[in-house]
Amino acid sequence: MKSRWFTRQLPALIWLGALLLMTGCDEVQEQYHEGQNRAERDAANGELNVALADGTHMAEYPEYTSQLKLYGIHVIICSLPANPPAAAAWARGYNEVSSAKIADQLGTNFLKQTLADARKLHKN
């Protein structure tokens, strides 16, 4: 009797599994847009930030954050342990907006130059 129930429900279970897989992709897209929205809100409040996804390896992180703080820019970390690609998408969406705001205020190469400076400091 139990096997009959399973056999009858199999198409619905397959559909549900496919839906769950697709939802994971939707979460990545949703987090990307949420990152953009958060950056817009932060910029409207006068905050300039750079976002990183949790787990991002950056040897020169201490030097980079120190250099950014000199200009009032903070690093924020997005952590979504159950879905690291969604965290990366959030940071990408956030930085897409915030880097444009930072470039408007501090110059188009500011973030690249700051990272290059941080790498030099890290090597010393």
- Residue 55: the pLDDT is 87
Per-residue pLDDT of 46-75, as tens digits, reads 999 999 999 888 999 999 999 999 999 999
DSSP annotation of 95 reads: H
Residue recorded with tokens 């009032």: 72
How many domains does the chain fold into?
Answer: 1
Cα angle 40, 73, 62; round to 5: 130
| pLDDT (tens digit per residue) in 10-47 | 565 565 454 445 545 699 999 999 999 999 999 999 99
**Does a structural domain hold residue 106?**
yes
- Give a yes or no: residue 18 inside a domain: no
In the prediction, which pLDDT does 56 show? 87
- Rounded CA gap, 17 and 11, in Å? 10
Is pTM beyond 0.75? Reply is yes
In a domain, 54, yes or no: yes
Sheet strands (E) in the chain = 48-53, 73-78
- Domain range for residue 87? 31-123
